[in-house]
Structure 1
């Protein structure tokens, strides 16, 4: 995540607008703490008026990260378009999570955002398990646009999975086969933290 953020904004001072909820869920607080390492943070929650007011108040001298759920970032773009906001003067970068983002929605956001990356994690575990790097975004766009390539790599089907990169020194991801019924099995993906004393079942 750090490398991705560093590549987004070059010389401008950075201001992150954290539009994840700050209530019962831990995502907003965790995201604010993560962004503090790379920028000044203002946590607005998913409040459209506060996000737009922040952009207007601080102006285009900052490079902005706007973090939130994909549909909320779309509402930001819609409001910018309707209000004739001088967005061409701003440098905006989107950080989304909480649900998958389609490549069609990403392209819509990129009309106004210079970049848009997603992350993988869980509020009650860790939000930074894996992240979309620029290379991961290119791979997913290729999977989305090239049906033949997608079918050769993933088999038949229309669904395009998210593509993330993770640090194997921080997280150990494994897939275990678990018996759900006597004659039927299902696959379960789990996250194992190597710094814990317990080991995954063999």
Structure 2
């Protein structure tokens, strides 16, 4: 009996055949690697096709040849990538329609927004050349064309403008959706509270993207913003997994949030999912629009993006779990009934577990310390009220390179003054978080003792080092 093709492969194969025929660069790429697209007809054939990536495909061919019939779509965003040299990502109506439908699923099915609700979406993602802000804006405009009574305003990362909107404009709307990077949205909400804006009277939901955060962080930001949850507390906020390469790829659902929370609380369940101390972002995606594969621990995807992407390696690590496989896991863990109550059967799509990215880690004695490992200590009950949650980690060499020290600059909350006792409390909390969440750090601490302790530097609220000026907050520096 022939093995069944993975869900979404039919659409991926159609795109592959089409791109081989009408995308000049991809046709050349296949010929260069000796691939005859006529002979690629099964999944077993498809996985033998060489993967593409930015240096070996996108930058290796003429820009115009990357598009069907060399025609560039009308909207262009940029990404800098690890090299710092921008790459430009056009997209057209087809990609924005997919994004619009994804936002509709989030707004309608998770946030409970009705077409007749007067809804205001406040976009606090960077605008400029970055994709998140303009993509969210065009997705909202698409929703308006489908009959939703929805409006959008784009303060971008201007905190003062965002607070003014929450104070002066938001109260006349039925529903408010505040969209942005998690640390910046917390900044906006804290500033609004400091200015006596009664945000708890708003019917507010949060739309995140751009980075991983813990369930403790979600609880903190829900508490300070007075979010009123549906789905028994699992629908106040949603994080989107998106890239400049392909736009919005997947998003959280109440079921994925339940899975994350259970993994945070239950080490045995986390182990069942193949997780250790790092609990990743978990999203669901539509394989008809984005077809994912795993190759050597990295995610490959095939998508009808503005630049059609075949077996494209963005160098994100992770894991894919099918809906039926997840059903089995949840049943064994005795939480399937809870997941069903949260719409598990409604979103019958695969799950992606997004791994930690080494390019945002701090290297300390040859081990990687991820931002998530440090965030744990700053989110503890006896610490989080004294800090904003933002920090910058880095290492420095001493004694002619024989010793290395880990430094963590931490921004204090509004009105909090640096003090020796507070410094000691934060240092101990961060140390305990590191030892509990990073096995390699725990081993290092046993080996070198006090040398492994983090050096905490407290910065006053509003310190220029912590002001977001372009896009996202940088958690580490070299």
TM beyond 0.5: yes
Counterpart in the other structure of 1:193: 303
Task: Say whether residues 1:96 and 2:216 are aligned partners.
Answer: no
Distance 1:88 1:197, change over 3 A: closer
Q: Counterparts of 1:29 and 1:197 in 2: how far apart (Å)?
A: 20
Residue 194 of structure 1 deviates from its aligned partner by 6.1
Higher relative helix content: 2
Q: Counterparts of 1:92 and 1:29 in 2: how far apart (Å)?
A: 21
Counterpart in the other structure of 1:54: 165
Q: Which runs of 5+ in 1 are unaligned?
A: 178-186
Q: Larger C-alpha radius of gyration, 1 or 2?
A: 2
Root-mean-square deviation (Å): 2.2
Instruction: Kindly provide the CA deviation profile for residues 26-51 of structure 1, in whole angstroms up to 9, marking residues without a partner as x.
Output: 22111111122333110110111111
Counterpart in the other structure of 1:142: 262
Q: Counterparts of 1:188 and 1:78 in 2: how far apart (Å)?
A: 37
Q: Counterparts of 2:107 and 2:311 in 1: how far apart (Å)?
A: 33
Residue 198 of structure 1 deviates from its aligned partner by 7.6
Counterpart in the other structure of 1:69: 181
- 1:163 partner SS: strand
Q: Counterparts of 1:90 and 1:40 in 2: how far apart (Å)?
A: 16
Q: Which runs of 5+ in 2 are unaligned?
A: 1-101, 144-149, 229-235, 313-478
Moved more, 191-200 or 117-126: 191-200
Of the three residues 134, 138, 142, the one matched with 1:37 is: 142
Instruction: Kindly provide the CA deviation profile for residues 22-76 of structure 1, in whole angstroms up to 9, marking residues without a partner as x.
Output: 1132221111111223331101101111111112222423211111101011112
Counterpart in the other structure of 2:354: none
Counterpart in the other structure of 1:122: 243
- 1:110 partner SS: helix
Task: Say whether residues 1:4 and 2:115 are aligned partners.
Answer: no
Cα pair 2:290 2:301 within 8 Å, conserved: yes
Distance 1:140 1:198, change over 3 A: closer
Instruction: Kindly provide the CA deviation profile for residues 50-107 of structure 1, in whole angstroms up to 9, marking residues without a partner as x.
Output: 1111122224232111111010111122123323321221111100111112111111
TM-score, structure 1 normalization = 0.85
Q: How many equivalent residue pairs?
A: 190
Distance 1:61 1:200, change over 3 A: same
- 2:200 partner SS: helix
Counterpart in the other structure of 2:94: none
Q: Which has the higher contact order (CA 8 A, sep 6+)?
A: 1
TM-score, structure 2 normalization = 0.37
Q: Counterparts of 2:308 and 2:244 in 1: how far apart (Å)?
A: 22
Distance 1:99 1:197, change over 3 A: closer
